[in-house]
Copies of this chain bind each other. A is one copy, B any other.
Amino acid sequence: MQKTIEKLKELTKDVVLLEHAVATLSWDQETYMPPKAIGEKGEQLALLQGILHEKITSSDIGKLLDDLGADDNNPAGKSDSLSPTNSAYIKETYRQYKIQTRLSKKLVTDLALETSLSQASWIEARKKSDFSLFQPHLEKVLELTKQKAEAVGYKETPYDALLDEFEPWSTTKEVADIFNSTQPWLTDFIGKIKNSKQVDDSFLLKDFDISKQEIFGRKVLQDMGYTYDRGRLDVSVHPFTTTLGKDDIRLTTRYQKDFFKTGLFGIIHECGHGLYELGFGDKVRGNLLASGTSLGIHESQSRTWENVIGRSMSFWKYYYPELQKYFPENLTGISLNEFYRGINKVEPSLIRVEADEVTYNLHIILRFQLEQELISGALSAGDLPDAWNKKTKDFFGITPDTDANGVLQDIHWPMGAFGYFPTYALGNLYSAQFSSVMEKDINVNESLENGNLSDILDWLRNKIHIHGASKSAEELVLDISGEKLNPEYFKKYLENKYKQIYNL
């Protein structure tokens, strides 16, 4: 038994190494690649994805999983004598093996190739704010994505198959139920804020020297516990975190001269992702369980750092005097309280990644609804811009001025990541639920006011990071908070914070 598991780990190690090689090529594509290299980069990625597919679907792995008794009813195999980590290892291997064996190598490489080209067309389309440049690529990617969903299979709707890739063991219905229960509350809460006196954040829209933004951002990164011996920070169009090796977890961000929040909160957000990957314990490090257990949980880490911590009064009690020294021309005379209210301004807006934490989940629900329609066929790619604009008007009362500020703003559809968006909103919900426990365990505010971020990192590491994917999202949230994912925590978190800011 032990020998079979060791053999399985040996075979799946190549899968992990190849995933990291793919991540290296993708990171390069987003950061340093010369523009004309895109065509062949797509071919290279398609080839590697094909080889990866061969590896994970190898009959050797199938045979070992068989020997361990893993099947749809017993994804972790049939033995009772396994350690929890080994059970989780078999379960995760089975999940990936099962999905991948249902996909043809052709479909995998076609998807890799098309999504690479589609991302390139999206960059161009976004630059020119011209959806028509992207539309034919979106159509191809959608067609392949539908084929993928059919091949993988699902219980109720093709979207289930897509969601499972990012949020394993979750269903469309579960997510829809949670979103449906928060949407009216959010709309109502935003309405109350709208009727209150708006806060002033005009001082954040001044000229913030980018090199100083970077220095300050790197200072916070260091305080958060991120180190450059196992990582990097670079610039890309769309910020992301990626794992190129068990000791190579890289962040990217982007800076806007006239919008201070993008750079710093982007860095803190990505660093939250990075610390998760850097914190995997020895039992999972470098193997198939060395990944976020779901993207929702992953996002809970970035959102905890970005919002619960990074937009808190206590955090800025420590950092604001320092920030004022960096940007005296903009921040002299702006009190801590004004600054705190400014960075937490709630306002319906067009761009998801710049949205405040109250309106943010509405951006997600919008995308969640649209992508379900795209996958079901109820909505065609050509009709997407109109549908996008209409829903933006419904949800936020505003209409995008350009496609670049509307339907073309996100990289996810260009990269074929349908089913990904909901994980962002789930992340906010998980974050609130985890944080409420963390605040009982340690004195978060006191730590923050002393500029001590290590207690927080330790808590997150021991409760969440260390496990990697050896505990499912559901197990994690149950272990930590004693209950299933419950959106009430998020509502309470928002209420506490914003009632004070907006005097509701």
Binary per-residue interface labels of chain A (7-47) against chain B in the complex, 1 for a CB within 8 Å, 0 otherwise: 00000001001101100110010001111110111011001
Number of interface residues of A (CB under 8 A): 35
Minimum distance in angstroms from A47 CB to a CB of chain B:
5
Q: Residue of B at shortest CB range from A231?
A: B34
Which of the segments A59-67, A242-250, A315-323 contacts the partner chain?
A: A242-250
Counting CB contacts under 8 A, is A51 at the interface? yes
Counting CB contacts under 8 A, is A232 at the interface? yes
Binary per-residue interface labels of chain A (212-234) against chain B in the complex, 1 for a CB within 8 Å, 0 otherwise: 00000000000000001111101
Counting CB contacts under 8 A, is A48 at the interface? yes
Indicate if the CB atoms of B230 and A37 lie closer than 8 Å: yes
Complex CA gap A455/B39 in Å reads 30
Q: Which of A20, A244, A245 has the most CB of B within 10 A?
A: A245
Known contacts: A34-B228, A36-B229. The answer to whether A245 contacts B44 by CB under 8 A is yes
Q: Which of B17, B41, B229 contacts A44 (CB 8 A)?
A: B17
Q: Which of B20, B32, B40 contacts A245 (CB 8 A)?
A: B40
Q: Chain B contacts of A17 at CB under 8 A?
A: 40, 43-44, 47
Q: Chain B contacts of A20 at CB under 8 A?
A: 40, 44
Q: Chain B contacts of A234 at CB under 8 A?
A: 32
Known contacts: A37-B247, A37-B248, A248-B37. The answer to whether A18 contacts B47 by CB under 8 A is yes
Q: Which of B32, B39, B48 contacts A21 (CB 8 A)?
A: B48
Complex CA gap A250/B34 in Å reads 9
Counting CB contacts under 8 A, is A400 at the interface? no
Known contacts: A39-B247, A51-B51. The answer to whether A21 contacts B44 by CB under 8 A is yes
Complex CA gap A231/B33 in Å reads 8
Q: Which of B21, B34, B47 contacts A230 (CB 8 A)?
A: B34
Complex CA gap A51/B55 in Å reads 11
Q: Chain B contacts of A229 at CB under 8 A?
A: 34-36
Indicate if the CB atoms of B37 and A245 lie closer than 8 Å: yes
Indicate if the CB atoms of A245 and B41 lie closer than 8 Å: yes
Counting CB contacts under 8 A, is A286 at the interface? yes
Interface of chain A, main secondary structure: helix
**Which chain A residues numbered 477 to 503 have a C-beta less than 8 Å away from chain B?**
none
Indicate if the CB atoms of A47 and B14 lie closer than 8 Å: yes
Q: Chain B contacts of A44 at CB under 8 A?
A: 17-18, 20-21, 24, 245
Complex CA gap A58/B495 in Å reads 64
Indicate if the CB atoms of A36 and B232 lie closer than 8 Å: no
Minimum distance in angstroms from A53 CB to a CB of chain B:
13
Complex CA gap A33/B244 in Å reads 9
Q: Which of B40, B48, B286 contacts A40 (CB 8 A)?
A: B286
Binary per-residue interface labels of chain A (242-281) against chain B in the complex, 1 for a CB within 8 Å, 0 otherwise: 0011111010000000000000000000000000000000
Minimum distance in angstroms from A504 CB to a CB of chain B:
46
Complex CA gap A39/B246 in Å reads 9
Q: Chain B contacts of A32 at CB under 8 A?
A: 32, 232, 234
Q: Which of B35, B37, B47, B244 contacts A37 (CB 8 A)?
A: B244
Q: Chain B contacts of A228 at CB under 8 A?
A: 34
Complex CA gap A167/B39 in Å reads 31
Complex CA gap A248/B228 in Å reads 27
Binary per-residue interface labels of chain A (170-207) against chain B in the complex, 1 for a CB within 8 Å, 0 otherwise: 00000000000000000000000000000000000000
Minimum distance in angstroms from A243 CB to a CB of chain B:
10
Complex CA gap A51/B21 in Å reads 13
Complex CA gap A21/B112 in Å reads 15
Q: Which of A41, A246, A250 has the most CB of B within 10 A?
A: A41
Q: Which of B25, B33, B48, B248 contacts A36 (CB 8 A)?
A: B248
Q: Chain B contacts of A37 at CB under 8 A?
A: 230, 244-245, 247-248
Minimum distance in angstroms from A286 CB to a CB of chain B:
7
Complex CA gap A17/B33 in Å reads 16
Indicate if the CB atoms of A247 and B28 lie closer than 8 Å: no
What are 17 A-B interface contacts by the 8 Å CB criterion? A14-B47, A17-B43, A17-B47, A20-B44, A21-B21, A21-B25, A21-B47, A24-B24, A24-B44, A28-B28, A34-B232, A36-B247, A36-B248, A37-B244, A37-B247, A40-B246, A40-B286
Q: Using a CB–CB distance below 8 Å, which chain A residues touch chain B?
A: 14, 17-18, 20-21, 24-25, 28, 32-37, 39-41, 43-44, 47-48, 51, 228-232, 234, 244-248, 250, 286
Nearest 8 Cβ contacts at the A-B interface: A37-B248, A40-B245, A36-B247, A37-B245, A36-B229, A17-B47, A36-B230, A17-B44
